[in-house]
Amino acid sequence: MTDIKLTQYSHGAGCGCKISPAVLDSMLHSDLPKASYPNLLVGNESKDDAAVYDLGDGTCIVSTTDFFMPIVDDAFTFGAIASVNAISDVYAMGGEPFMAIA
């Protein structure tokens, strides 16, 4: 079996491969119609770390996703890094992480 090096698919270093904040801002504030969700407490308008959705029973879901290019070659290690990155966004919003998918 051949060793796969994830970094061979990356042209930069992790978050350095993301699009610029100006491009992201123009995409998020385009003329596309915006859906209205009354229970969505935090959406993409505030540029926060995660979305917050009120379930209506006193609890909320704090949800986040992220993508960045591989910064290590090992897939398991990269999955752990991606999970920790997403979990830190939940903590930044005052949430209590209980699951991560990477």
Q: What amino acid positions are annotated as catalytic residues?
A: 15
Q: What residue type is 22 in one-letter code?
A: A
Report how far Cα 94 is from the mean position of its chain's Cα atoms.
16
Q: What is the CA radius of gyration of the chain?
A: 17
d(CA 87, CA 97): 6
d(CA 74, CA 7): 9
